[in-house]
Each structure stands twice: as C-alpha cells, then as structure tokens.
Copies of this chain bind each other. A is one copy, B any other.
Amino acid sequence: MERRKRAITITGISNIDEVQPGDDLARLIVERAGQEDVKLADGSILVVAQKVVSKAEGRLADLRQVTPSALAVSFAEQYDKDARFVEVVLQQSKRIVKMDHGVLIVETHHGFVCANAGVDGSNVPGKHIVSLLPVDPDASAERLRKQIEEYSGCKCAVIISDTFGRPWREGLTNVAIGVSGMEPLLDYRNTVDEHGFTLHASVLAVADEIAAAAELIMGKLNRIPVVVVEGYSYCAAPGSARKLVRSPERDLFR
C-alpha cells in the first residue's frame, strides 16, 4: 500500500481591514504576515477579500451623491429599500437576471452573476458609503501578486474573493472574482481513472474552492481579510477569473 500524506494549511492574516484609498495593500499584507508569523513561500496562494481591495482602490460610492432613476425608486418603494443603493446596483450592472421578491440578481460589467452587483454596505466606514467591486479584479490580482512577489521575494498566486449566492442551495459561499498566477480551472477531461473509465465532464473550479476554503478563516466579523493557503500544487499560469464565467452559449440558466 502506498503511503502518502498530503496537507493544505490555511492561515489568516488579520488587522489589515482599515485600509484607506491609495494604501499599498501588498506592503500591508507582507508586513502583517511577517508580524503574525505567517510564512510566505514559493507556491503560496494569497486569498484577499474583495472588500479590502476595493477600499485600497477607492472603489466606494457615497449614497448622498446618488440620484436614483425612476426604476430604482419604484423597486425600492415596493420592497422598502434605499433607492440610492438600488441605483448604484443598476449602474454596476449590464443585465438584470432577476428582479423580484426584493432580490436584485444581475450580471455585472465583468460578467459575474450575483446579488446587488457586489455592492455592499457592510464593513465600510460610514453608513452612506458602499463598496463596489474592483473595475478589473484580474488586474487588481495581478498588481497585488507582482507587488507581493517583489516585497516578499516569493513566487505566489493571488485570488480576490467575494461572497456570492447560488440557485437551488441555501447559503452563500466565497468564489474567485480575480485570479493571477494560477489556472483557476483544473481540467480532468480525457484523463482515465484506474478502472479505465474516461472522465468526461470533470473540470474543477479550483480557484472557487480555494476562495471557499479561505472564507472558513476569513468569516464575516473576524477582521481577517487575507488568507494564505500553503500546500496546494496549483498550475502556474497568468490566470484570470474570466475563465470561471460561463459564456452565454454554454449557459443553460441564463
């Protein structure tokens, strides 16, 4: 019998959530990792919560400066929502997928399908302030990765994660909205199992699984916006979360 021990370790880095627009997030991450004895090494994957990336990039909107459209006012009145918030969501959307029961599920300009276009009022300072998704989360991930590599001297991958719902199942899970340094999908198609059966449909969304794993440490109130994953042998590549977005032609649930 073969003896094999494989392990993945997921460690949180805390106290980097009070980020201001313009802050050097990569430097904060590398410094805090050092202070908290979280080792960065070649092959580390850093999962960074969208919220802290958006804060550093100044991707915030002040609801006091928003003039809601008639559609936003109408939907907000029906469901007791803030029309200015609804307006921001509409502005961040390129297609409305569902707009019913007070739920607004949209396709963002990036192609992500999620509630409220990722616009979120939690964990931002000021009750009129909401955070928006980064304009180009892959570019954000790439920038972070290059800076982290420079500051730490380690070759790594970066995943920017956000918390999305999904049809049919209760509860939210974290998924990858930006990826740099690794293939987000692991393709088993046409590989053969030990019984000679050819795997047909198996493409695994490993970047989403890594984001989900990281959420277990991040939590919502733990103030742990960055997580380091060690021990996962990813396939090094430029990487892009766009590969995780199903194209309209392949989407049976558009």
Contacts and interface: CB of A to CB of B under 8 A. Distances in A.
Nearest to A112: B168
B168 A253 contact: yes
A201 interface: yes
Interface centre among A9, A112, A169, A253, by most chain B C-beta atoms within 10 angstroms, is A169
Given A15-B1, A168-B246, A6 B217 contact: yes
A109 interface: no
Given A123-B193, A224-B6, A232-B216, A208 B169 contact: yes
A237 interface: no
A4 interface: yes
A208 to B, nearest CB: 5
Given A201-B115, A203-B172, A204-B173, A216 B8 contact: yes
Interface string A108-125: 000011010000011111
Contacts of A170: 185, 203, 205, 243-246, 250
A197 B123 contact: yes
Contacts of A216: 8, 206, 209-210, 213, 232
Interface in A209-240: 209-210, 212-213, 215-217, 220-224, 232
A174 interface: yes
Number of copies: 2
A217 B8 contact: yes
The 3 closest A-B pairs by CB, nearest first: A171-B205, A213-B213, A167-B253
Interface of A: 1-12, 14-15, 35-38, 98, 100-101, 103, 105, 112-113, 115, 121-127, 163, 165-175, 184-185, 188, 191, 193-197, 199, 201-206, 208-210, 212-213, 215-217, 220-224, 232, 243-246, 250-253
Given A6-B224, A113-B168, A194-B221, 6 more contacts: A7-B10, A127-B197, A171-B244, A188-B220, A208-B212, A253-B253
29 contacts: A2-B15, A3-B35, A3-B36, A4-B224, A7-B12, A8-B213, A115-B201, A121-B197, A123-B195, A124-B195, A125-B195, A127-B197, A163-B202, A167-B246, A168-B253, A169-B208, A170-B185, A170-B244, A171-B185, A171-B208, A171-B244, A172-B201, A172-B203, A172-B205, A173-B212, A174-B209, A209-B216, A210-B216, A213-B213
